[in-house]
Structure 1
Amino acid sequence: MTKKQILGLIVVLILSGVLGYGMLTSGHNWAYSDFAAYIMQARSIIDGDLTGFIFHNTVTVLESDVPVGPIAYPWGYPLLLAPVLALMGISTLSMKLLNILFYLLFLLCLFFLLRKRLSYFDSLALMAIFAFNPVFLNAQDSILSDIVFLFFSTFALFLIDRQDAVPSSNGSGYARWILIGGMMFAAFFVRTNGLLLLPTLIAYEIFLLVKGKMDFVEIKKNILLLATPYLVFFALWILTSLIFPDGQASHLSLYENFRLSQLWPYLLFYLNLGQSFFAEIAYAQVLYGIFCLFFLAGIFRKFKENILFILYFVLTLLLYISWPALQGIRFLFPIIPVFIYLAAQGFGAVLSFMTERTSKIFQLFYRGVLIYLALAFFVISGQGALGNLASEREIHGPFDEVAIELFDYVKKNLPEDSLIIFFKPRIMRLMTGRDSILVLTCENLEHGDYVVINKKWEDMGQIAPEEITSCPIGLEKIYNNRRFVVYQIETIP
């Protein structure tokens, strides 16, 4: 690349980092309470008490009316959080900086992945759409594994795409395949669905074999080399299994609720959810529809060239539609770059059918759309960042003063062995050190010692504030502030 091209890339990365930092709040929202489990897992790593975390979180998960999450998430993200937690304590702003770092790494990886087949301008413009996209930038304000996984999964695809079908068996050849195995494992160690990278690679190599880009003679000569990424992956899996206790398997029990009838409506749900990428823009549905048409053209006209990405896209989508619980746009993060990339490839395929004059006009219009999207996203994200800074990064959640008052009361006045019923039990455990469970029915209130009701929480997750005193069980109000009320549950002799 020329110096001007490198400068353009750096400018986009800097602007993305500035916007992302400007959109970070100083606390956290209530909705994604997974963050509490991640922080507690990180703390258990620092304290060397992994089994202690598993014990207490097992109480929360198994004794709640409905599962609030797995007994343990994959340990990769907590392992990244641990140094920040050790140095800064529970500083949400500090922990969110990890998201900015890994998102910038993702953008850099995305640019070079695109650049292999697209022009510099198209690659930079598409990267800028992600760099300034408010959906992805807002996601950096949550202490969740989505952004970190986005980088590792994209980087693993990038490495596989750049690798020769049968590379030379010299030192550098082995090093590249070792790195592929390491990155596939890193993705899996952060999010369980990173395991999909293994069948993606297997299916990709089978495709190359069938199409004659690999032959059995070469395979026999390089069998150890070709097995290297799998050996690395499973070696790391075994090693980490000896160190970190498993708990994510408890999440798989949700598959008991799988129904074959869910596949079609869930597919429609996720296909429609993809338009959220453009949600902040006028005519989002129209733009999404156009990109979908190009996406289909990219699949059918560039199938062989893009089989690696198509395989990963399809396997990921199959996982999501078979998962019993619907998820939000953040679960589509790993395949949205694939969608946009294949759409760009589809545009190139459409151009090949046009006359030179028509193709130039069409390309000018296409690039105008890319510039419009990048600028519109930049303005929307910029306004969001300025508004956030103007409000001094405030956010209503478990770290605001009203919630902190509640947690301070619990820590000072309730016994350490108390079992507290709360609508976000993992947050209660993080903030107070008391075991906590989720209860949704009056008859199960007797399982706890205290029940804390959020008077302003209208979503599901607790007995309604106006109904709690009607439950046929003795309740004594012992604390009240403008958002929370605490009742002691009277034990029945």
Structure 2
Amino acid sequence: MPATNSTLKFILYAGIFLLLLFPCFVNLNSSHNWGSDFAQYIHQSKNILLGLSQADTYLYNQEFAVNGPRAYPMGFPLLLAPLYAIFGNHILAFSLFISSCLFAFNLLIFFFFKKRYGVWVALIIALLLAYDPWMISFKQNILSDIPFALFCWLSLLLLSMKRVPCIWATISLAFTILIRSVGVACYGALLLQLLYRYKKQKRLLAAMMIMITVSALLVYSVNNLLFDIPKDGTYWDQLNSKNFPDYIFQNIVYYYEQIKFHWFKGESGVWRAFPNLLRILTLPVILLALALKVKFKKLELSDFFCFSFLPLLIIWPPQQGWRFLIAIAPIIYEYYLLSVIFLLKLLLPRRLQVATSCLLLFAVAVSYGQAFTFHFRGKNIFAIDDTIAGPNSKEAQEVFAYIQKHTKEDATIVFTKPRALSLYTGRKRAMVQNLTDDVAVQEQLFLKHQVCYFLTNPEIVFNQHLQNFLDAKRDDVVLEFQNKSFKFYRYKKDFCNKRTI
């Protein structure tokens, strides 16, 4: 009998492993879109290997701070550096890495919640994450969100385990913050848990403060001593880019809507009713789950992480949709399941609870299926996509080759996606225009930085601001190159003669 139980357990966990692994092999890409955050991360990883400054990537424009900082924290570039050393700027290699991080994240979530709720509830939470059509679509982006979520939950798991040496939790905590600064929410989680269970945990106060201090010193040492992240052009510019009171309420509404509308609305038929019902019940379900946790004294570190994370998200001006909620998505799904389980036990006899649960899971599966059709209609998700409109497209590679051949390395080039331009051409004085149609303001910026070239693509967001300037100054620019997607102009200024081949 023990052998049989062991065999069944092995089969169960092997099946779970394969279920969570499967989504990693779909929607892989060897090309990338124009969201040029990925280019900045890759460029920083390249600079790590070359021993160059982390600021040596592109020309930062403080007036367009939302475009991104001069340099990101070092965590994600450090993760990408070994891949760049082996494969170079190979999007498929990075895509596989992000998929691997997503698999590890889902597996970690399963083991985290298995300890608390058992195999089946933990498996449902993990599968909701693993087969989320939005997540499968999003993982094609070479961004830090998924690795950040992975290290967040690794830190929470290690901090929750009594027999794990503090050094591992400290290192994981530091690396979480190195990937994204909002990882300091883990500090808030630790402190909130200490206050909540002060009588039981006050003896741990000294150890906790040492852990926080050491991890903070590690973060500072890596970002400021080992790699010397530039002190200007930081996230503070983005915080100062909007009036603080104006966007706080907007962000509260925005992220509540993101949670509420993440349940995809079916395109037709009776199954529209299920996601619509979930949307209506979003707030009551979350409040009920919190009330249950408070009543039965089940609040734990993951809950406190959510409480610390959300205020930081709300005060952050840029709105980036569900991607900013990935780290707390498991908690959101946990709250849904807690409330559903409680209501089923409260309202239905035992013989109907299992049947109703199966019906609800089937409804979720149908909703996911409709969302999957919406995200991937007409796309072969098992084929490696090399046709995404972005810097790897044929037209982009043509204009990049022209720029490399016909401009000097110190030439200043304006393009709406300067970080991608810099990575693919080696022109580190690539910069973005201002977000204004005031020709005089734009010209002042361009003269200040001795801009010599302009690259336009009407398919890219914010391009129109640059195009309006060029239309107004048509006598001062000359078209040097164009193809189906791009136009490359030269500014007819005396200082540009020195930067023209």
The aligned counterpart of 1:420 is 413
Structure 2 residue matching 1:452: 3-state secondary structure: strand
- Contact map agreement 1:475 1:490 (CA 8 A) in 2: yes
In structure 2, the CA distance between the partners of 1:185 and 1:486, relative to structure 1 (3 Å rule), is same
2-structure distance, mates of 1:118, 1:81: 35
The aligned counterpart of 1:195 is 184
The aligned counterpart of 1:180 is 169
- Contact map agreement 1:275 1:285 (CA 8 A) in 2: no
Q: Is residue 484 of structure 1 aligned with residue 486 of structure 2?
A: yes
2-structure distance, mates of 1:278, 1:248: 41
The residue identity in structure 1 corresponding to 2:100 is: L
- 2:376 aligned to which of 371, 384, 403: 384
The residue identity in structure 1 corresponding to 2:45 is: A
The aligned counterpart of 1:342 is 335
- Per-residue deviation, 1:341: 1.1
- 1:244 aligned to which of 227, 233, 247: 227
- Per-residue deviation, 1:243: 0.5
- Per-residue deviation, 1:75: 0.6
Structure 2 residue matching 1:143: 3-state secondary structure: coil
The aligned counterpart of 2:313 is 320
- Per-residue deviation, 1:277: 3.2
In structure 2, the CA distance between the partners of 1:456 and 1:246, relative to structure 1 (3 Å rule), is closer
In structure 2, the CA distance between the partners of 1:17 and 1:133, relative to structure 1 (3 Å rule), is same
In structure 2, the CA distance between the partners of 1:271 and 1:318, relative to structure 1 (3 Å rule), is same
- Contact map agreement 1:110 1:127 (CA 8 A) in 2: yes
- Per-residue deviation, 1:362: 3.7
User: TM-score normalised to the size of structure 1?
Assistant: 0.87
The aligned counterpart of 2:114 is 115
- Per-residue deviation, 1:475: 0.6
- Per-residue deviation, 1:419: 0.3
In structure 2, the CA distance between the partners of 1:178 and 1:347, relative to structure 1 (3 Å rule), is farther
1-structure distance, mates of 2:98, 2:318: 25
- Per-residue deviation, 1:16: 4.2
Q: Is residue 204 of structure 1 aligned with residue 193 of structure 2?
A: yes
In structure 2, the CA distance between the partners of 1:378 and 1:228, relative to structure 1 (3 Å rule), is farther
The aligned counterpart of 1:44 is 47
The residue identity in structure 1 corresponding to 2:55 is: I
Give runs of aligned pairs for residues 334-413 of structure 1, distance below 5 A: 334-351=327-344, 353-354=346-347, 358-374=349-365, 377=368, 381=372, 384=376, 387-389=380-382, 392-413=385-406
- Per-residue deviation, 1:425: 0.6
Q: Is residue 432 of structure 1 aligned with residue 415 of structure 2?
A: no
- Contact map agreement 1:29 1:396 (CA 8 A) in 2: yes
The aligned counterpart of 2:216 is 234
Moved more, 424-433 or 65-74: 65-74
- Contact map agreement 2:413 2:454 (CA 8 A) in 1: yes
Structure 2 gaps, min length 5: 496-501
The aligned counterpart of 1:166 is none
2-structure distance, mates of 1:8, 1:79: 36
- Per-residue deviation, 1:15: 4.2
The aligned counterpart of 1:20 is 24
1-structure distance, mates of 2:463, 2:333: 36
- Per-residue deviation, 1:280: 6.5
The residue identity in structure 2 corresponding to 1:262 is: Y
Q: Encode CA deviations 1:70-103: one digit per residue, 9 max, x unaligned.
A: 1111111111111111111110010111111111
- Contact map agreement 1:74 1:191 (CA 8 A) in 2: yes
In structure 2, the CA distance between the partners of 1:85 and 1:228, relative to structure 1 (3 Å rule), is same
In structure 2, the CA distance between the partners of 1:370 and 1:301, relative to structure 1 (3 Å rule), is same
In structure 2, the CA distance between the partners of 1:463 and 1:253, relative to structure 1 (3 Å rule), is closer
Measured on the aligned residues, the alpha-carbon RMSD in Å equals 2.7
- Contact map agreement 1:177 1:228 (CA 8 A) in 2: no
2-structure distance, mates of 1:118, 1:290: 23
In structure 2, the CA distance between the partners of 1:261 and 1:376, relative to structure 1 (3 Å rule), is closer
In structure 2, the CA distance between the partners of 1:368 and 1:155, relative to structure 1 (3 Å rule), is farther
1-structure distance, mates of 2:256, 2:66: 27
- Per-residue deviation, 1:307: 4.1
- Contact map agreement 1:477 1:488 (CA 8 A) in 2: yes
Q: What is the percent sequence identity of the aligned residues?
A: 22
The aligned counterpart of 1:295 is 286
- Per-residue deviation, 1:137: 1.5
Moved more, 311-320 or 103-112: 311-320
- Per-residue deviation, 1:224: 5.0
2-structure distance, mates of 1:213, 1:344: 29
Q: Encode CA deviations 1:326-366: one digit per residue, 9 max, x unaligned.
A: 22210011111111112222334334544xx5254245323
The residue identity in structure 2 corresponding to 1:491 is: K
- Per-residue deviation, 1:477: 0.7
Structure 1 residue matching 2:479: 3-state secondary structure: strand
Aligned length: 468
Give runs of aligned pairs for residues 19-168 of structure 1, distance below 5 A: 19-30=23-34, 32-49=35-52, 51=53, 53-57=54-58, 59-62=59-62, 65-163=64-162
1-structure distance, mates of 2:419, 2:290: 43
In structure 2, the CA distance between the partners of 1:461 and 1:66, relative to structure 1 (3 Å rule), is farther
Structure 2 residue matching 1:117: 3-state secondary structure: helix
- Per-residue deviation, 1:310: 2.8
- Per-residue deviation, 1:412: 0.6
Q: Encode CA deviations 1:119-162: one digit per residue, 9 max, x unaligned.
A: 32222122112111111112210110011001111122223334
1-structure distance, mates of 2:6, 2:121: 16
2-structure distance, mates of 1:402, 1:79: 31
Structure 2 residue matching 1:90: 3-state secondary structure: coil
In structure 2, the CA distance between the partners of 1:153 and 1:6, relative to structure 1 (3 Å rule), is farther
The residue identity in structure 2 corresponding to 1:397 is: G
In structure 2, the CA distance between the partners of 1:55 and 1:397, relative to structure 1 (3 Å rule), is closer
2-structure distance, mates of 1:4, 1:375: 29
Q: Encode CA deviations 1:12-61: one digit per residue, 9 max, x unaligned.
A: 4434433333201211011x210011011000011011x2x41443x234
Structure 1 residue matching 2:478: 3-state secondary structure: strand
In structure 2, the CA distance between the partners of 1:359 and 1:259, relative to structure 1 (3 Å rule), is farther
The aligned counterpart of 2:254 is 269
- Contact map agreement 1:42 1:79 (CA 8 A) in 2: yes
Structure 1 gaps, min length 5: 164-172
